[in-house]
């Protein structure tokens, strides 16, 4: 997204409203890319492709901090920390290079989906898959939290 568009949006809308509009626009852009993948013969035998693409879109939007349709080094750093696997600056540069084939300093959504659907093993793909499995196995407690007294607090 160009800078002028985001400035124009922020002049008309402020705070959460402008952010919501940016995220909605980004969601539509990524949805168009998802449709391209759904129509691509190369992925026609991929199981649950539509569900996977929806999950990839949500995860990508969560970490595309500048809403420009790319994950840069700082966004990747935050993503890795949030997933519980912090990486060094050099490791993150290597991850970006691995995902993009060395042609970019940022990960586009197409690069991200190609990596996740590809047969090649990539560090970021393994982290993302591990994160999905970890969330499946952790049962969420149901109901209200248990009563605690002051003495039981850490």
DSSP 3-state of 108: strand
Domain boundaries, given as residue ranges, for the chain: 17-130
Report the candidate in 90, 102, 98 with the shortest Cα–Cα distance to residue 127: 98
Strand partners of residue 71: 107
Q: Where are the beta strands (DSSP E) in 7-87?
A: 70-71
pTM for this entry = 0.67
Each residue's pLDDT expressed in tens, for the chain with a length of 154 residues: 444 545 444 455 555 676 677 777 888 888 898 999 898 888 888 888 899 999 889 888 888 877 777 889 988 888 888 888 888 999 999 989 988 888 889 999 999 898 888 876 677 877 777 665 555 555 556 667 677 777 776 6
CATH class of 17-130: mainly alpha
Q: Which helix (H) or strand (E) holds 91?
A: helix 89-100
**Measured distance CA(142)–CA(144) in Å, rounded:** 7
């Amino acid at each position: 997204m160009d800078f002028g568009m985001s400035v124009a949006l922020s002049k008309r809308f402020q705070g959460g409203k402008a952010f919501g509009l940016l995220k909605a626009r980004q969601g539509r852009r990524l949805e168009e890319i998802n449709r391209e993948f759904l129509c691509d013969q190369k992925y026609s035998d991929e199981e649950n492709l539509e569900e996977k693409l929806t999950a990839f879109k949500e995860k990508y939007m969560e970490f595309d901090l500048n809403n420009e349709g790319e994950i840069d080094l700082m966004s990747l750093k935050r993503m890795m920390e949030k997933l519980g696997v912090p990486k060094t600056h050099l490791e993150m540069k290597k991850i970006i290079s691995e995902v993009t084939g060395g042609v970019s300093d940022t990960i586009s959504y197409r690069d991200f989906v190609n990596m996740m659907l590809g047969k090649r093993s990539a560090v970021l793909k393994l982290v993302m898959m591990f994160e999905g499995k970890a969330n499946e196995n952790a049962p969420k407690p149901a109901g209200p939290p248990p009563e605690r007294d002051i003495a039981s607090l850490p």
